[in-house]
Structure 1
Amino acid sequence: MDAFHFRHRSRRLLLPMTTGVCAIALVSGCSGEVSGSPEPGVTTTASSRQGPVSQPTGDAVGDLQAQYEAVIKNVLPSVVQIQASNSLGSGVVYDSRGHIVTNAHVVGTERRFRVTVATGEKTQGASLVASYPEQDLAVIKLDTVPKGLKAATFGNSEKVEVGQIVLAMGSPLGLSSSVTQGIVSAVGRTVSESSTGGGTGATIANMVQTSAAINPGNSGGALVNLNSEVIGIPTLAATDPDLGGGAAPGIGFAIPASMVKTIADQIVKLGRVVDSGRAALNITGRTVVDQDYQPAGVALVKVPSGGAAEKAGLQPGDIITKIDDTSITTITSLSEALASDKPGQNVTVTYLRDGQERTARVTLGEI
């Protein structure tokens, strides 16, 4: 299978990471397309079994264009540009009080930002409310709420379907208020970020995959459907190492709106996240290798008292090799195996202790 890299959509350094069977890195890529034409002297026709190829009427094209224009007019005023001292990204106005949701990797470790709103007013100052790197989300708040600030409408992630037309809005390459177009190309993806070079180390489940171009600076912006609803926050795009790190066209990922709302609501109301909804074994572990120096499992370094693993009888030194039917070879694969599970859910953990394979039934805790 081809190897790919994922890149953050803020303007940052190359960040290696992995997801599933793909090798990944977080930085920016650019989308491209390949066009072709028939060989000289060759006439191409549609298959007779498919019937004649229908062309969109002028009215249909005009209607779609009008719909695009309406969505952009409705949503773009809610998308802002965020500048930190060494990064640039995007954000989405969350409420009329000046709260803005963005990616944790956009804000990094900083607490003060400059925000350019789409209303054309001067740059506003903003402060960090809280960052939640575990889900690569953060909320900042404008010092002064400009007149006419418009909060975005967030859609229902459960209604997102493959094939839906979507628009990505943000500040790619510092070009504020930019829009790209594509479709939802997959749902339910699980992606893991690196914890080096500015990455959060988050493993994010149920990501929305899109063909809309996601470039540096798009991080934290809006992925929008034709109902003018934000269905996700663009976060990563893919590059192909075989192309010298060039873009793997049409492969971008957005955090689903449901998770954005879950995290942002808690930060706005409480100033922190108290209920992640994310399952955990409550352990500290490290990847171990076999005789051929290949990843072979996760060794438990610490098993805190009262945590899910300790309650199930797991001990420091045990090596986890499987969660239910999913093989575990690295810390990343362990995170991915748990990403779509819920606290309180029961799983079967296969592990090695003193060279002997054992199993334990574990009731998952919470991150």
Structure 2
Amino acid sequence: MDGSRARRHRLPAVAALCWAVLFAGAGVAGCGFGDGDGDGPASSSAATPSVSVSGRRHAPAQGGDELPDGYEKTVAAVLPSVVQITTGDNLGSGVVYDDKGHVVTNAHVVGDADEFQVTLATGKGTRSASLVSSYPEQDLAVIRLDQVPEGLRPAVFADSSKVEVGQIVLAMGSPLGLSSSVTQGIVSAVGRTVSESEASGGTGATMSDLVQTSAPINPGNSGGALVNLANQVIGVPTLAATDPDLGDAAAGIGFAIPASTVTAIADQIIEQGEVTASGKAALGITARTLLGEDYQPAGVAVVSVADGGPAADAGLKAGDTIVAVDGDEVLSMTALSEALAAHEPGDRAAVGYERDGERDTVEVTLGEL
């Protein structure tokens, strides 16, 4: 898996793209761009045919990336499903998920808010919306329009397993407050594992299987749509890379949560009001990064162990310090999260730890977050 290989090297820093941390990659915070009027193109009849199941449009067989009439058809088909979300001084994007008024976005876009203003890209103005639930562990959230307008168009979500490197993609959203904006690029890689920076406005989540794209991703794009030329959403743009030494934005390196993860989480939120099956592996511990004498990360200190959980069953105890997973050094909570992201619940992982000055390794059958 690409994510596991990437952990052996220094991953690029990433900045979550919410409005409150505008230009976070360049180290400058602020807001005030755009008035959020949302006057985008009108609905088009060029939408891809799809099958309606429980009000959400599902993708038919994956289409190719032909360009019979340029990008116009894809923009006309998908952009009416991409909205602008505002709350206070924060701004981001969202994607209409079903005909019941549900909109999927990033958890860092909604933040701690419960109420929002949603500007539709179909010229129907701004509507109020309320939070259904937020899942910061995967940086996803669902909100719902308080009144569902006639003709609301849900997006079609693709099968993420069919996304291929080199595919042409369009990023749709409200970068810098410019609603209904579109940028273009390709799928640069798949299967990336990346950790968000809380300092840059993210949730601190470590996410796996992300789609990397060269399509420009800017503050305000978060929660929007990364779209293929078959008029399907292949992911939700969430992160942009920054230079780990300079802190400057790294051009052409953005990341999107894959569509299959988006639909799995959104369906649970809509149907159950919460996420009960994350699909993310876990040790069943509460822990913190341990700093050494040089004030640098020196391991993961286990604060508590869940009774009957994976770590407890393997013999790990509070007070232990985790220093490796599967032979790879683990010196921080971020590194541990990235190591676990390469696994699925039920996998076995070799966990190296220190106790009373002695180092040992145990095999842990991982649980679910």
TM-score by length of 2: 0.83
Q: What is the match of residue 283 of structure 2?
A: 281
CA contact (8 A) 1:288 1:295 kept: yes
Q: What is the match of residue 200 of structure 1?
A: 203
SS in 1 for 2:20: coil
SS in 2 for 1:316: coil
Give the Å deviation of 1:15: 10
Q: Which runs of 5+ in 1 are unaligned?
A: 18-23, 29-62
Q: What is the match of residue 254 of structure 2?
A: 252
SS in 1 for 2:197: coil
> Structure 1 residues 132 and 281, CA, compared in 2 at 3 Å: closer, same or farther?
same
> Structure 1 residues 102 and 25, CA, compared in 2 at 3 Å: closer, same or farther?
farther
Give the Å deviation of 1:27: 7.9
Indicate whether 1:81 and 2:84 are aligned.
Answer: yes
Indicate whether 1:326 and 2:328 are aligned.
Answer: yes
Give the Å deviation of 1:292: 3.9
Q: What is the match of residue 7 of structure 1?
A: 15
CA contact (8 A) 1:7 1:14 kept: no
Q: What is the match of residue 357 of structure 1?
A: 359
> Structure 1 residues 3 and 351, CA, compared in 2 at 3 Å: closer, same or farther?
closer
CA contact (8 A) 2:15 2:202 kept: no
| Whole-angstrom distance in 2 between the partners of 1:123 and 1:130 | 21
| Whole-angstrom distance in 1 between the partners of 2:299 and 2:362 | 16
CA contact (8 A) 2:23 2:219 kept: no
SS in 2 for 1:205: strand
CA contact (8 A) 1:90 1:217 kept: yes
Q: What is the match of residue 218 of structure 2?
A: 215
Indicate whether 1:176 and 2:179 are aligned.
Answer: yes
Q: What is the match of residue 49 of structure 2?
A: none
| Whole-angstrom distance in 1 between the partners of 2:116 and 2:342 | 33
Question: 1:128-143, aligned counterparts within 5 Å?
Answer: 128-143=131-146
CA displacement 1:80-126 (0-9 Å, x = unmatched)? 00001121000000001100000000000000000011110121000
SS in 1 for 2:166: coil
Q: Which runs of 5+ in 2 are unaligned?
A: 1-8, 31-65
Paired AA for residue 332 in structure 2: T
Give the Å deviation of 1:287: 1.6
Indicate whether 1:239 and 2:230 are aligned.
Answer: no
Paired AA for residue 243 in structure 2: D
Identity %: 62
> Structure 1 residues 292 and 242, CA, compared in 2 at 3 Å: closer, same or farther?
closer
SS in 1 for 2:73: helix
Paired AA for residue 354 in structure 2: L
Q: For this pair of structures, how many residues does the alignment match?
A: 326
Please give the root-mean-square deviation of Cα atoms over the aligned residues, in Å.
2.3
Moved more, 73-82 or 2-11: 2-11
One of 133, 136, 158 as aligned partner of 1:155 = 158
Give the Å deviation of 1:16: 8.5
> Structure 1 residues 110 and 335, CA, compared in 2 at 3 Å: closer, same or farther?
same
Paired AA for residue 272 in structure 2: L
CA contact (8 A) 2:11 2:194 kept: no
Give the Å deviation of 1:348: 1.1
TM-score by length of 1: 0.84
One of 103, 107, 111 as aligned partner of 1:104 = 107
CA contact (8 A) 2:118 2:127 kept: yes
Larger radius of gyration: 1
Paired AA for residue 84 in structure 1: T
| Whole-angstrom distance in 2 between the partners of 1:324 and 1:253 | 26
Question: 1:44-123, aligned counterparts within 5 Å?
Answer: 64=67, 66-123=69-126
SS in 2 for 1:287: strand
Q: What is the match of residue 344 of structure 1?
A: 346
Q: What is the match of residue 51 of structure 1?
A: none
> Structure 1 residues 286 and 324, CA, compared in 2 at 3 Å: closer, same or farther?
same
Give the Å deviation of 1:188: 1.0
CA contact (8 A) 1:192 1:204 kept: yes
CA displacement 1:265-298 (0-9 Å, x = unmatched)? 0001111111111110011112223444432211
SS in 1 for 2:76: helix
> Structure 1 residues 164 and 336, CA, compared in 2 at 3 Å: closer, same or farther?
same
Indicate whether 1:187 and 2:199 are aligned.
Answer: no
